[in-house]
Every structure is written in C-alpha cells, then in structure tokens.
C-alpha cells in the first residue's frame, strides 16, 4: 500500500472516530420541584415520620434504578454504625430520589436535594419501602453530615428528637407499620 493510501485510510478512521464522538447523546437534565404532604424540616418532624433514624457511612453509589411506579432512584450502599430509632442495622441500601438513567439518557435532579457522597458519614431519617427493599431518603430531608459519627455534636438534638417526635396529620402509615412481619422487611433490605 502506498504512503498516500495509508494516510488517506488513517484520515478516514480519524474522521469516523471524531464524528462518532461528536454524536454522543448528552444527558437531558430534568429539575423536579416536588411538593410533599409532610414537613421534614426539623429533627422532631423527621423522627415522627421516619421508620428509622440512624448514622451510617456511605460505602458506594450504585447505578440508578426505577421503582415499580417508574420513579428514578439512586441507591447507595451504607454501613449503619448507630441506630437512634427503629430496627435498622448492618449493611443496607439507602436510595435518593433522582439520578442518571443511562437507557433514556435522562438526569433527574430534585431541587434542593443534597447528594450523598461515598466516604462520608451521615445521619439519616428514612422509611423502609417494602416492595423495593430500600430505605428511602426523600428529597425534602437533608441528610446531616456527622464526621464524628455518634459522638458528633449534631447527634444530640436528634437523640432528643427521637424521644419526643412530632406527628403530622398528613402522614400515611409506612410499610413497616402496615406489615404483619416488619422483621421480614428489614431482612429484605439488608445487603447480602
């Protein structure tokens, strides 16, 4: 093959690669401004709503998944280090609303939500979703970063809140409250 033909072939391959990269479809971002029936702005209100209030280290982030209703969630594997309310323990999956769907190339972001970061420790208030086996962290609850774990100064207010939670009229019973065997729901939510 002559030098001119080799250079021409290299040019065609280079152009094809450049065109292929140029046509990569970016994620389309959707910002959701959700309205909730419950208020989770204070530790007392969050404790009144939650099945579990606990401290956990975020180990890793997994690929986003859709629940049975088609809502997008991002799961995180976490290790529970201290339980203030409920029966959660061990290695579990906590999910946040939203995430990146690689199939539809859609990024769903909930306005005001704080993204969890692997390697950090947080205080969570969650409800256990029976059908999915997830501890759901709604976007209207801001997880509290507690680098000191259970000894962090921010934890003392939460310890008091779980002993004096505030109920809200608009709170529906959770899957745990409705379950005939709540322990089975907790076992389903454990990461094996």
Band (pLDDT 50/70/90 cuts) for residue 187 is confident
For residues 25-49, average pLDDT:
78
For residues 27-42, average pLDDT:
73
Tell which wins on pLDDT, 44 or 15.
44
Is 133 domain-assigned? yes
In the prediction, which pLDDT does 139 show?
A: 80
The range of the structural domain enclosing residue 115 comes to 29-148+159-167+175-189
Closest-CA residue to 56 (of 166, 3, 135, 164): 135
Is 183 domain-assigned? yes
Most confident of 30-34, 75-79, 141-145: 75-79
For residues 90-113, average pLDDT:
82
Mean pLDDT across the chain: 82
DSSP state of 190: B
Is 101 domain-assigned? yes
> Using CA atoms, how far apart are residues 68 and 40, in angstroms rounded to an integer?
25
Is 11 domain-assigned? no
In the prediction, which pLDDT does 7 show?
A: 46
Is 98 domain-assigned? yes
Is 54 domain-assigned? yes
Between strands 28-32 and 106-110, the pairing is parallel
What's 138's domain CATH number? Answer: 2.40.50.120
Band (pLDDT 50/70/90 cuts) for residue 67 is confident
Is 74 domain-assigned? yes
pLDDT in tens, 113-165: 788 999 999 999 999 987 778 898 888 888 999 998 889 888 999 999 999 99
Is 108 domain-assigned? yes
- Domain count for the chain, please give it: 1
């Amino acid at each position: 093959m002559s030098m001119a033909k080799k250079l021409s072939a290299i040019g065609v391959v280079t152009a094809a690669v450049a065109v292929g990269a140029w046509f990569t479809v970016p994620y389309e971002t959707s910002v959701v401004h959700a309205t909730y029936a419950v208020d989770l702005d204070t530790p007392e209100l969050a404790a009144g709503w939650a099945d579990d209030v606990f401290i956990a280290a975020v180990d890793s982030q997994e690929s986003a998944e859709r629940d049975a209703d088609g809502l997008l969630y991002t799961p995180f594997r976490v290790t529970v280090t201290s339980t203030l309310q409920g029966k959660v323990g061990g290695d579990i999956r906590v999910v946040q609303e939203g995430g990146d769907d690689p199939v539809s190339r859609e990024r769903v972001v909930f306005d005001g939500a704080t993204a969890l970061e692997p390697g950090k420790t947080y205080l969570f208030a969650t409800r256990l979703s029976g059908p999915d086996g997830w501890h759901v962290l709604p976007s209207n609850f801001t997880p509290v970063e507690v680098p000191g774990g259970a000894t962090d100064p921010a934890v003392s207010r939460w310890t008091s809140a779980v002993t004096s939670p505030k109920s809200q009229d608009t709170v529906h019973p959770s899957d745990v409250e409705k379950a005939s065997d709540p322990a089975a729901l907790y076992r389903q939510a454990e990461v094996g």
